[in-house]
Structure 1
Amino acid sequence: MAFLTVERVMNVELRHLAAMAAIVEEGSFGRAAARLGYTQSTVSQQVAALEKAVGGPVFDRPGGPKPVRLTPLGSVVLDQGRELLAKADALSDAVDRFKAGGGRIDIGTFQSVSNVILPSVVRRLRDDYPGCDIRLSEEEPEQPQIGDLDLLFYDGRIDGDVERLKLLDDPYLLVAGVGTFPEGPVPLERLDGEPMVAWPLTCDQPEMEQAVARSGARPRVVFRTAVNDTLLSMVRAGLGSAVLPWLAIRGADVSSDDRLRVHELEPSLPPREIHLHWRAGRTHSPLAARAVEIAVEVAVELAPPPTST
């Protein structure tokens, strides 16, 4: 008696099972061959290969006009075989949807990008791939990690085994209450002793404040918060002015607020850099590759205004 082994089962091919299912559904080898686009001899060869793999006949062949019938072994093989064929169809469909951008993408972001860049990226990505699953996470840690993210926006360069693409320079500007400073650019030295509200000393904030200090100005920071809306509310209330990147100012639509004024600084401060990161050597999915393309397009369209030197 021949026993079925894993090695022999592995010789079963999906095309053998598809031929078997077609024969059962059509009632004959000839009609199955016509449906599958094969010759009848090809179908017979596939069944013979299947029977060799499973170690016994899967059909009784009465001959003449009578339809072929499954053997008891054939019933077992067909029952399990249909499950395999269904899973193969599901796999094929999943691969097709993945290639068409129908998969999932996980993107890490931070406040300014979330407000200004990401809405356009998400909208265009969903326009291109309506079935895509976009997951966003927003945080601004001292030492960000790619982890399981496909892409990560960050205002700086992340260390480690990552690749990056610089999207834009984000210049610093001064936001003040109306009448706090004369119209036009404000000399950096004019900020010496001025009350200021500011972000916490994380990310690029320390470098920006050090650049202000090197100019000879030492503002008085009277309040710190990471929330842009709160900072601007304090500027409106007269607590102090704020030096903020252009993206943060644009995201808060400061230009439409008649209580606030935006000033260039002279000389201009080194801008913060907005980068898009991903794990080094990683092959992008079609969805992630398109997201990178769109992010570059949006960054070019934004084109922050030049600042004085």
Structure 2
Amino acid sequence: MYALRQLATLAAVADHGTFGRAAVALGYTQSSVSQQIAVLEKEAGGPLFDRPGGPRPVRLTPLGAVVLEHGRELLARAQAMTDAVDRFRAGDGRIDIGTFQTATNVLLPPLIRELRDAHPGCDIRLFEEETDVPDLGEIDLMFFDGPGDGDVERLKVLADPHVLVARPGDFAPGPVELKELDGHPLVAHPAICDQARVEATLDAAGIAPRFVFRTVGNEALLAMVRAGLGAAVMPRLSVTDDQQLSLHPLDPQLPDREIYLLWQAGRTHSPLVAHAIEIARKLAAGLT
């Protein structure tokens, strides 16, 4: 097995022409260079240099040329690996982040901006999905509107209160009592995640709205509210400010939607993922 150190010595002798100059370039003694070349020649089964003697430079033998050609390739690959490991340690790796609408619009931009500033060469990949069960198998981190189940670690990022979104004038200004929603037409997200919890809370209070339209798109819901199809109970961060919409607190208030950052428990993080979690903690403290 050819050692990289010996191959580097071979390349230095070939480049500099003598064992002495190679020793100076490498910071070795000349005897150390001679010993390393001797080990290589034993491994290769023949001489790697013709040694004319005197001040004349050594010359590669045909066997030496073969060993040097492949040796340079191995040295280049080793250097590439060293460079890649250095970039990885510096945070210039890849990170896969799962997300959903609110996280994409509100939480991810400052996180990505800070990651990009600190690690310009990093590869950030985002996967947006509205799902009732977070799947962390193929990703590093996931923003999710719930604490998740199973073997996960979690960071609570923020609590997002619910509001009633309606057209101006459809409800009196100020808070709206939950009982006013009984039988009222509502547009809503699919009954998963936070929406499922909202509907369970309403059902437990004996309130049965009439759901007339469902979609995963926040903007589609707001468009239907503007059109007069129905009102909507939505987390505040899902609602854009609009003069065509009126926002009302609910009385009693529904439980907040809680947004978490999740990752697999016991998983060793890359420096990039660890930095992303650190940034998320800082964001959570600021948002709180």
Q: TM-score range by the shorter chain?
A: over 0.9
Distance of 2:165 and 2:156 partners within structure 1? 26
| Mapping 1:75-86, distance limit 5 Å | 75-86=65-76
| Mapping 1:276-287, distance limit 5 Å | 276-287=261-272
| Mapping 1:160-179, distance limit 5 Å | 160-179=150-169
- In the other structure, the counterpart of 1:25 is 15
Instruction: State the TM-score, normalizing by the size of structure 1.
Output: 0.88
2:282 to 297, 302, 306: 297
**Quick check: 43-52 or 240-249, which moved more?**
43-52
Task: Write out per-residue CA displacement over residues 23-81 of structure 1, whole angstroms, 9 at most, x where no aligned residue.
Answer: 11000111111111222122122212222332332222222111111122211111110
- In the other structure, the counterpart of 2:217 is 227
Q: How far is the alpha carbon of 1:302 from its aligned partner?
A: 2.9
Task: Write out per-residue CA displacement over residues 248-299 of structure 1, whole angstroms, 9 at most, x where no aligned residue.
Answer: 12xxx22xx1111222212211122212122222111111111112222223
- In the other structure, the counterpart of 1:5 is none
Distance of 1:275 and 1:45 partners within structure 2? 60
1:268 to 253, 256, 274: 253
Distance of 2:96 and 2:207 partners within structure 1? 42
**Quick check: 187-196 or 126-135, which moved more?**
187-196
Matched to 1:234, the amino acid is: M
Distance of 2:83 and 2:102 partners within structure 1? 38
1:114 to 91, 101, 104: 104
Distance of 1:180 and 1:297 partners within structure 2? 40
**Quick check: 177-186 or 103-112, which moved more?**
177-186
2:41 to 30, 35, 51: 51
Contact 1:103 1:133 survives alignment (8 Å): yes
1:159 to 138, 149, 156: 149
Classify the secondary structure of the residue corresponding to 2:259.
strand
Q: How far is the alpha carbon of 1:138 from its aligned partner?
A: 0.7
- In the other structure, the counterpart of 1:3 is none
Distance of 1:142 and 1:186 partners within structure 2? 29
Classify the secondary structure of the residue corresponding to 1:105.
strand
Distance of 2:89 and 2:229 partners within structure 1? 53
- In the other structure, the counterpart of 1:42 is 32
Task: Write out per-residue CA displacement over residues 171-196 of structure 1, whole angstroms, 9 at most, x where no aligned residue.
Answer: 21211111222222222222222221
Instruction: State the TM-score, normalizing by the size of structure 2.
Output: 0.94
The gaps in structure 2 that reach 5 residues or longer are none
- In the other structure, the counterpart of 2:55 is 65
- In the other structure, the counterpart of 2:173 is 183
Distance of 2:160 and 2:39 partners within structure 1? 66
Contact 1:113 1:247 survives alignment (8 Å): no
Distance of 1:296 and 1:237 partners within structure 2? 39
Task: Write out per-residue CA displacement over residues 162-220 of structure 1, whole angstroms, 9 at most, x where no aligned residue.
Answer: 32222222221211111222222222222222221111111221221111232342222
Distance of 1:102 and 1:193 partners within structure 2? 54
Distance of 2:54 and 2:61 partners within structure 1? 18
The gaps in structure 1 that reach 5 residues or longer are 1-8, 304-309
**Match status 1:196 vs 2:186:** yes
**Quick check: 36-45 or 222-231, which moved more?**
36-45
Matched to 1:143, the amino acid is: V
Identity within the alignment, %: 61
**Match status 1:211 vs 2:201:** yes
Matched to 2:221, the amino acid is: L
**Count of matched residue pairs:** 288
